[in-house]
Amino acid sequence: MVDRSTRRVVTVPDVVGLPFHVGRDVAAGAGVTLANPDPDGPPIGALAWPGLYYIVRQIPESGTQLREWDSVGIEVVGHGDEPDHEPAILRPPPPIDAAHATPDPEQHVNLTED
């Protein structure tokens, strides 16, 4: 696995309003991937197939700097449909210079006590 910090920095393109299949190609050309905003949900490709789906929201916004092949969360709707709910809560990615979490040496949980 490649260390995230060694990947080049890329700029997120604007994919809102594009058909999913076009937005996916635009994103790949920019060096990012499109993803379901729900990390526990199905892959975004499964939500946008079969049929014609349009991208209606993205996070992070276009112009944001990410590491190459990081994910851009998107929401899609079928051709002719309008979103019939509040937009999905898209979680922003960690900052580019974020390090992995490390435990605080002062915090300990003793599971053997009653």
Q: What is the total count of domains within the chain?
A: 1
pLDDT at residue number 2? 61
- Give tens-digit pLDDT for 37-84: 888 999 998 988 888 999 999 999 999 999 999 999 999 998 877 665
Q: Which domain holds residue 67?
A: 4-78
- Residue 113 maps to a domain: no
* Residue 7 in tokens: 């990947």
Higher pLDDT, 42 or 100: 42
Note the residue count of the chain.
114
- Residue 9 maps to a domain: yes
pLDDT at residue number 36? 94
The enclosing domain of 10 has a CATH number of 3.30.10
- Residue 30 maps to a domain: yes
pLDDT band at 1 (very low <50, low <70, confident <90, very high): low
- Residue 49 maps to a domain: yes
- Residue 98 maps to a domain: no
> Which one-letter amino acid corresponds to residue 114?
D
Q: What percent of the chain has pLDDT over 70?
A: 70
- Residue 66 maps to a domain: yes
* Residue 99 in tokens: 């390090």
How does the average pLDDT of the chain come out, rounded? Answer: 82
